[in-house]
């Protein structure tokens, strides 16, 4: 059986970006361990469950999974979960910015020279004010700026419905609408039928 370590922010994850890959991998028979930085249960960003954006049925489905999925309710602590882990990585949306700050086992920046996608500047401009404030919070960085600054090759495919990029052991996805396609791509890369 294939195992997956699924790292989630405790501070507010975007429902579709987390739940679509989590359920897609689980439904394909992957043994998924959810981990958060401290092992505390992750909080869902309520904006990501807005029935006006998603429709009532989808909002209810995502909320139900958030509230009932045992993996989300009782995650492992990240640093105890990752020891000795190797394999492929799936990174979605704003999390791709972390690749500009993460080093591989050789000490090299993970995004340098890699093909990467994530939340593009073109979309960021549409959601922040002139001080980079989004719904009362200052953005710490713009994903596209950070990964290109360290030498990543950026392609968000703005004209496409979804955007998923594969570079060796790294699968990145543009945003919420690409999360299901990203999970399916990861399964393909692992040789597992969805």
The pTM assigned to this predicted structure is: 0.85
What is the C-alpha separation between 44 and 106, in angstroms, rounded? 34
Q: Find the helix packing angle between 56-68 and 15-27, rounded to 10°.
A: 70
Nearest to 147 by CA among 156, 135, 139: 156
- pLDDT tens digit sequence for 121-180: 999 888 888 887 777 777 788 899 999 999 999 999 999 999 999 999 899 999 999 999
Considering the chain, what percentage of its residues have pLDDT values greater than 90?
71
Q: Which residue has the tokens 């043994």?
A: 31
Residues in Cβ contact with 172 at an 8 Å cutoff, skipping those fewer than 6 apart: 90, 91, 92, 96, 99, 116, 117, 118, 164, 165, 182
Residue 74 per-residue DSSP state: S
């Amino acid at each position: 059986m294939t195992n997956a370590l699924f790292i989630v922010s405790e501070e507010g994850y975007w429902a579709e970006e987390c739940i679509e890959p989590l359920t897609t991998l689980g439904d394909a028979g992957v043994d998924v361990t959810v981990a958060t930085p401290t092992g505390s249960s992750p909080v869902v960003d309520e904006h990501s469950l807005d029935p006006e954006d998603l429709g009532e049925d989808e909002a209810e489905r995502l909320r139900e999974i958030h509230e009932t999925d045992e993996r989300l309710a009782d995650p492992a602590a990240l640093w105890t979960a990752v020891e000795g882990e190797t394999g492929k990585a799936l990174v979605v949306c704003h999390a791709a910015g972390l690749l500009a700050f993460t080093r591989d086992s050789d000490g090299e920046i993970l995004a340098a020279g890699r093909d990467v996608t994530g939340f593009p500047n073109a979309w960021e401009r549409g959601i922040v004010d002139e001080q980079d404030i989004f719904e009362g919070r200052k953005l710490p960085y713009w994903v596209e700026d950070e990964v290109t600054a360290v030498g990543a090759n950026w392609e968000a495919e703005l004209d496409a419905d979804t955007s998923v990029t594969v570079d060796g052991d790294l699968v990145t996805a543009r945003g919420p609408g690409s999360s299901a396609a990203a999970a399916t791509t990861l399964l393909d890369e692992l040789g597992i039928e969805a």
